[in-house]
Amino acid sequence: MITTETELKHASYDPVFKNGLEDEVNKYKDGTLRSLKFNVVFKPAIISFVALIFSFFLDLSYVPILGNISVSLGKALFPTWQPAVEEIVPYSFWWLPVIVYVLFVLLAYLAFNKLKTEIMRSPATETIDRIIASYTSVIDGVSTALPLIGAALLLISIKLGEEIFLGLSVPFEIKALIILAVGKLFEPVLDQLGVEFQNVVNHVKDIRDKYFSRIQIENSRNLIKQISGQSYSKLPEISQKDMQVYRDLLEETTRYSEAIAKNFTSIFTVLEKIRSIETLTSDKISELNKLAESLSQASIHLGDEKTLAGLKHLENIVVRK
């Protein structure tokens, strides 16, 4: 008995086959996700960390270990420069970029764990894009909101006086702008996480494709073996007469197709001419209807045997002349 193609197709979805595939996929996911560590973000995080270190040198107030770094840099660049006597001591915000950067790292770690959980459950590109986009929007929102808050403080402090303006608003706005730069430079960290987990998803997809391809090849081989084992004498024979009938049908179909194509071309030409008419009044529509009825009547009469005989006789008279 020959196994049908449907039966072979259903064999690919047999629980035994499916369990084998799922075991192979789960084994790969478990091993790969276990070996995937959070330290993959260290390399893309270097540039944002450098920006964080650079923020300590852009400060109007005292910074631990570095001291009053802005004055020190000014004296190093311009040896003859003497700082003005400070009547207003700026508030120190050196710690603000550090806290925000720790928050960014924490968000990246949460995204990493969320991706591991979701990919282990159901590996899909859409899941990765959704998680990365959500955490990226949070980081971008924090880094963008602080400069806007600082701008609002600047406007308010203009009314409150010079001490609030120079002592609080300006130092805060400087650090807020640095945080904006750090946040933008931190986004490649989340992009790297997306790339790492996308590689896992792609490999799982390759495993599934190869698995089903292997099953299909095995089914095809089994089908060929079963067909080759049958007696060729049982196959139906095609006679010369059947071949001739088949050929005639093909030729007749070709003629019909050509006729249909010509009819469609003619109809298209008529429609184009009608479309070119600027104003299509009711009188013209009526004339078109009469023309259509005349063509219908003519086609009916052309199919009449007497009409055809008369036309043939007329043709003979013309030829004689």
Of 151, 164, 199, 7, residue with least CA distance to 91: 164
CA distances from 3 to 14, 68, 218 (A): 15, 86, 13
Other CB atoms within 10 Å distance of the CB of residue 187: 18
Angle 95-121/125-160 helices, nearest 10 degrees? 160
pLDDT at 278: 55
For the segment 260-299, what is each residue's pLDDT rounded down to a tens digit? 777 767 776 776 666 666 556 677 677 777 777 776 666 5
Angle 95-121/170-228 helices, nearest 10 degrees? 20
By the 8 A CB rule, do 154 and 173 touch? yes
- Please state, in angstroms and rounded to a whole number, the distance separating the CA atoms of residues 198 and 124: 8
By the 8 A CB rule, do 188 and 47 touch? yes
Q: Give the residue, 259 or 96, on which the prediction is more confident.
A: 96
Mean pLDDT of 135-143: 94
For the segment 9-53, what is each residue's pLDDT rounded down to a tens digit? 444 444 444 566 777 778 888 888 888 889 899 999 999 999 999
Return the biggest CA–CA distance within the chain: 127
Mean pLDDT of 74-85: 71
Strand partners, 67: 63
pLDDT at 2 over 50: no
For the segment 179-198, what is each residue's pLDDT rounded down to a tens digit? 999 999 999 999 999 999 99
pLDDT at 12: 43
pLDDT at 159: 84
Task: Count CA atoms within 13 Å of residue 184 on its CB side.
Answer: 7
Token digits of residue 210: 């190869």
CA distances from 32 to 28, 112, 154 (A): 6, 14, 51
pLDDT at 150: 92
pLDDT at 106: 96
pLDDT at 302 over 60: no
Radius of gyration of the chain (CA): 42
- Please state, in angstroms and rounded to a whole number, the distance separating the CA atoms of residues 215 and 24: 14
CA geometry: angle at 144 spanning 142 and 147, to 5°? 110
pLDDT at 301: 57
Give the model's confidence band at 307: pLDDT under 50 very low, under 70 low, under 90 confident, else very high: low
By the 8 A CB rule, do 186 and 104 touch? yes
pLDDT at 279: 59
Is the overall model pTM greater than 0.85, yes or no? no
Token digits of residue 192: 């790297």
Q: Give the residue, 312 or 172, on which the prediction is more confident.
A: 172
For the segment 206-243, what is each residue's pLDDT rounded down to a tens digit? 888 887 777 778 777 777 777 766 544 454 556 677 77
DSSP string, 20-67: HHHHHHHHHHHHHHHH--GGGGTTTTHHHHHHHHHHTTS-SS-BTTTB
Mean pLDDT of 120-132: 87
By the 8 A CB rule, do 41 and 189 touch? yes
Residue at token pair 């109809």: 267
**Exposed / middle / buried, residue 24 (Cβ in 10 Å: 0-12, 13-18, 19+):** middle
Task: Count CA atoms within 13 Å of residue 114 on its CB side.
Answer: 18
DSSP tag of 64 = T
Q: Give the residue, 45 or 1, on which the prediction is more confident.
A: 45
Token digits of residue 60: 């109007």
Token digits of residue 246: 């088949």
Token digits of residue 37: 């560590």
Give the model's confidence band at 136: pLDDT under 50 very low, under 70 low, under 90 confident, else very high: very high
CA distances from 144 to 48, 51, 180, 188 (A): 16, 16, 6, 17
pLDDT at 313 over 60: no
